[in-house]
Amino acid sequence: MSDREDQSLGFETLAVRAGQHRTAESEHSEPIFPTSSYVFESAAAAAARFSGEQPGNIYSRFTNPTVRCFEERLAALEGGERCVATASGMSAIYATCAGLLQAGDHIVSSRSIFGSTTLLFTNYLHKFGVETRFVAQHDLDAWAQAIRPETRLLFLETPSNPLTEVADISALADLAHANNCLLVVDNCFCTPALQQPLALGADIVIHSATKYLDGQGRCVGGAVVGSEAVVGESVYGFLRTCGPTMSAFNAWVFLKGLETLSIRMQAHCASAQVLAEWLQQQSAVSRVYYPGLASHPQHQLAASQQSGFGGIVSFEVKGGKQAAWRVIDATRICSITANLGDTKTTITHPATTTHGRLTAGQRAEAGLTDGLIRVAVGLENIDDLCADLAGGLAN
C-alpha cells in the first residue's frame, strides 16, 4: 500500500501497512530519515517549495517522511482525515489548545483527567486568558450547565485514570455540537484498537503515544487526529511554527508499536479481566474498578462503545495507605512506576504519586482513597501476576 489507504481494509492490516511509501531502495521495513533539512535542485525549486507552489519536504520541524508514515498510519487506525504527531502527549494537548483557542475562550473538562493536563489548563492556558471549568465525568447535566457562550472545547478521557470512569462519547458529542463546541477525547487508555471516538462523534482524538502505541516503554510522543480543517490547519499550523514535533527515530519506534497494537491490546484486556475477577475474590480487597466487571457502574456503556475493557485495573485494599504500600512493596514482578501501557506490569499508589499534589479534600472528592492501587496489566503470565499481588494481600 502506498499513496492511498483503502479504508475498507481491516484494522490489523492498516496497522501493519498504512502510510508506507517505499523508496527507490525497495526497503521492506519503513526507513528512518534522520535529517533536519532537505535539498532542492535549484534556487527556483527552493522558492517553489517555500511558496507552497510545489509540495515536498523543506525542514523536519514541518515534515519528515518517517513521521508522516506514523501520522498516516494512526489516522487510518482512528478513522481520521489527518493526524499530526507531536513530541509528547502533553504537547499534543497543548498544540490542540494553542491552535484552536484564543484569549476569552473557555473549556469544559472532565475532572477525571491526567494530572499534567489539569495543570496545563489551570496554570498555563489560564495565563493566556483561557479559562477551564471542571465537571464530574459521568454527570451530563453538569456538562450542559457548565457550557457558556464562549466555550469552544469539551475535553475528557475515557476510561479515566485511575478509577476507570466511562464517559458517554456520543451524548457529549451531541452536547458539544448543539453548542458550537468541539469534543476532544484523550484516547490513551483504549487506543483505536478498542475505541474509535471519531466514529462516535468526537471531533479530535489525542494520544500519548508514550503509552500503548509504543507499548514497550521506550519513547515519549503524542498525536492529534481529526479533520483536515481542524487538525490539518489549526493544530498543524501551530506545530510547524512553534515546534514540538516528533523525532524521526521516535516515529519509527511508534510505527513498530502500531504493528502489534491489536494483539497486544487483546492480551492486556484478557489478563486485566482475569486479574479484576481474581481481586474481587480477595478478602483484603474492598473494591475493584474495572469496566469489564458487571459490578462496574458503566459496564454497559463501556461494552457498547469499546470493543475491549482495557488493561488498567484499580482496587482498594482495607487498611489505607499502609496496607496499600505493603501490597506494592511485596511485589517482585510488577514495576513500581507511574507509567502505563507497557509489556511490563506497573503498579502505582495514586494518592502519594500521580495525584499527590491534590489536596486531601480534592482526592476525597475524586474518590481517590489512600487504599487505592492502580495496576497497568502487562503481558507477563497472569498467574504469576496474581501470585505477585497475593503476597502483600495475604499479610
Ligand X SMILES: *Cc1c(COP(=O)(O)O)cnc(C)c1O
**Coil, strand or helix at 295:** coil
Helix axes 261-280, 248-259, angle to 10 degrees: 70
127-130 own/partner pairs: CB under 8 Å, 24+ apart: 128/103, 129/102, 129/103, 129/104, 129/105, 130/97, 130/101, 130/102, 130/103, 130/104, 130/105, 130/106
Minimum distance from residue 189 beta carbon to ligand X (Å): 6
Q: How far is the CB of 235 from ligand X (least distance, A)?
A: 16
- 3-state secondary structure at position 394: helix
Whether the ω angle into residue 297 lies within 30 degrees of 0, i.e. cis, is no
Q: Give dist(CA 19, CA 15) in Å, integer.
A: 9
C-beta of 185 vs 231, nearer to ligand X: 185
Residue 267 has φ and ψ, to the nearest 5°, of -70, -40
Per-residue DSSP letter, 322 = H
Nearer to ligand X, 50 or 249 (CB): 249
Query: Which one of 75, 173, 220, 328 is in contact with ligand X (CB under 6 A)?
Result: 220
Q: Measured from the CB of residue 112, what is the shortest distance to ligand X in angstroms?
A: 10
Count of chain residues binding ligand X (CB under 6 A): 15
Q: Considering the rule CB under 6 A, would residue 158 count as an interface residue with ligand X?
A: no
**Least Å distance between CB 167 and ligand X?**
13
Site for ligand X in 63-122 (CB under 6 A): 88-90, 114, 116-117
CA dist 116 and 147 (Å) reads 23
Q: Does 15 bind ligand X (CB under 6 A)?
A: no
For 28-63, b/e burial (b = at least 16 CB within 10 A) is eebbbbeeeebebeeeeeeeebeeeeeeebeebebb
Q: How far is the CB of 95 from ligand X (least distance, A)?
A: 12
Q: From the CB of 286, what's the least distance to ligand X, in Å?
A: 25
Which H or E run includes 65? helix 65-78
Q: Which is nearer to ligand X, 164 or 331 (CB)?
A: 164
Instruction: Between 244 and 371, name the residue whose CB sits nearer to ligand X.
Output: 244
Asked if 186 touches ligand X (CB under 6 A), the answer is: yes
How many secondary structure helices (H) and strands (E) does the chain include? 15, 12
**Cα(298)–Cα(82) distance, integer angstroms:** 31
- The reply on whether position 239 binds ligand X by CB under 6 A is no
Unique residue bearing C-alpha cell 514541518: 62
* Residues whose CB falls within 8 Å of the CB of residue 100, separated by 6 or more in sequence, listed in order: 152, 153, 182, 230, 234, 235
The CB-of-153 to ligand X minimum distance in angstroms stands at 15
> Would you say 161 or 298 has its CB closer to ligand X?
161
Rank residues 210 and 348 by Cβ distance to ligand X and give the closer one: 210
In this complex, which beta carbon is closest to ligand X, that of residue 143 or of residue 254? 254
Shortest distance in whole angstroms from residue 360 CB to ligand X = 23
- Smallest gap from Cβ 163 to ligand X, in A, equals 13
Q: Which CB atom, from 367 or from 391, has the smaller least distance to ligand X?
A: 367
Q: Which of 210, 305, 306, 331 touches ligand X by CB under 6 A? A: 210
| Residue nearest to ligand X as judged by C-beta position | 89
By CB under 6 A, is residue 188 in contact with ligand X?
yes
Which is closer to ligand X, CB of 144 or CB of 200? 200
Q: Which of 219, 181, 223 is nearest to 82 (CA)?
A: 223
| Cβ proximity to ligand X, 77 vs 188, nearer residue | 188
Q: How many CB atoms neighbour CB 70 within 10 A? A: 29
Question: Which of 30, 71, 157, 388: binder of ligand X (CB under 6 A)?
Answer: 157
Residue of the chain from 222, 291, 311, 392 that contacts ligand X (CB under 6 A): 222
* Contact set with ligand X (CB under 6 A): 88-90, 114, 116-117, 157, 161, 186, 188, 208, 210-211, 220, 222
